[in-house]
Amino acid sequence: MSFGDNLQFLRKRQDLTQEALAEKLEVSRQSVSKWESNGAYPEMGTILQLCDMFSVDLDTLLRGDVQAALSEDTAGYDRFMTRFAFRVAGAVAAILAGVAPLFVLNALDLPEMASGAALLCVIAAAVVVLVASGIQYDYFTKKNPVVTDFYTDEEKEAFRGKFIWLIAGGVGAILLAVALLCLFFAVFPEREPYESMARAVLLLVVAGAVFCFILGGLLEAKYDIEKYNRRRQRELHPTPEQKRLDNITGALWGGGMVGATALYIAIGYSFKQWQLAAVIYSVAALLCVVATIFLRRNEEE
Contact 66, 60 (CB under 8 A): yes
Per-residue pLDDT band at 84 (split at 50, 70, 90): very high
- pLDDT, greater one: 168 or 194: 168
d(CA 187, CA 70): 59
Contact 232, 145 (CB under 8 A): yes
Task: Count Cβ atoms below 10 Å from residue 83 Cβ, excluding itself.
Answer: 12
φ/ψ of residue 151, rounded to 5: -70, 135
d(CA 236, CA 251): 21
- pLDDT, greater one: 91 or 150: 91
CA atoms within 13 A on the CB side of 260: 21
**181, exposed or middle or buried, with CB in 10 Å at 0-12, 13-18, 19+?**
middle
d(CA 112, CA 205): 23
109: left (phi over 0), alpha (psi -120 to 50) or beta: left
3-state percent breakdown (helix, strand, coil) of the chain, nearest 5: 80, 0, 20
Per-residue pLDDT band at 298 (split at 50, 70, 90): low
Q: What would be the CATH architecture of the domain defined by 3-61?
A: Orthogonal Bundle (1.10)
The pLDDT, as a whole number, for residue 238 is 63
Per-residue pLDDT band at 289 (split at 50, 70, 90): low
Return the DSSP state at 223.
H
Per-residue pLDDT band at 219 (split at 50, 70, 90): very high
What is the pTM for the complete model shown? 0.64
| One-letter amino acid of 27 | V
- pLDDT, greater one: 32 or 114: 32
| Domain ranges for the chain | 3-61, 77-300
φ/ψ of residue 149, rounded to 5: -80, 95
Mean pLDDT, the chain, rounded, equals 79
The pLDDT, as a whole number, for residue 107 is 65
| Long-range contacts, 108-114 (Cβ 8 Å, 24+) | 108/193, 112/268, 112/272, 112/273, 112/274, 112/275, 113/268, 113/272, 113/274
| One-letter amino acid of 89 | A
Average pLDDT, integer, range 188-198: 74
The pLDDT, as a whole number, for residue 230 is 76
What sections of 109-193 are H helices per DSSP?
112-143, 153-187
